[in-house]
Amino acid sequence: MATATYARPLMRLLDKLERLPGIGPRSAERIAFHLLRASEENARQLAQAVLDVKEQLQFCKTCFNLSEAASCEICKDPSRDPTMLCVVEEPKDVLFIEKTGAYRGLYHVLLGAIAPLDGIGPEMLKTNELLSRVSDGVEREIILATDADKEGEATAAYIAKLLKIAPKARITRLASGIP
Binding site for Zn ion (CB under 5 A): 60, 62-63, 65, 72, 75
- Contact predicate 85/140, CB 8 Å: yes
* Minimum CB–partner distance for residue 138 and Zn ion (Å): 16
CB of 58 vs Zn ion, minimal distance in Å: 11
> Which is closer to Zn ion, CB of 94 or CB of 113?
94
- To Zn ion, the closest distance from the beta carbon of 72 in angstroms equals 3
The CB-of-63 to Zn ion minimum distance in angstroms stands at: 3
Indicate the residue among 65 and 127 with the shorter CB distance to Zn ion.
65
Task: Give the pairing type, strands 66-67 and 105-109.
Answer: unpaired
- Distance CA(126)–CA(129), nearest Å, equals 5
Provide φ and ψ at 149, rounded to 5°.
Answer: -85, -175
Of 75 and 171, nearer to Zn ion (C-beta) is: 75
How would you label 121-131 residue by residue, b for 16+ Cβ within 10 Å and e otherwise? ebeebbbebbe
- Whether the CB-CB separation of 124 and 113 falls below 8 Å is answered with no
State the DSSP H helix or E strand holding residue 85, giving kind and residue range, or none if neither: strand 81-88
Give the nearer residue to Zn ion in terms of CB position, either 13 or 133: 133
Between 62 and 146, whose beta carbon lies closer to Zn ion? Answer: 62
Q: How far is the CB of 124 from Zn ion (least distance, A)?
A: 20
Cβ–Cβ < 8 Å for 62, 132: no
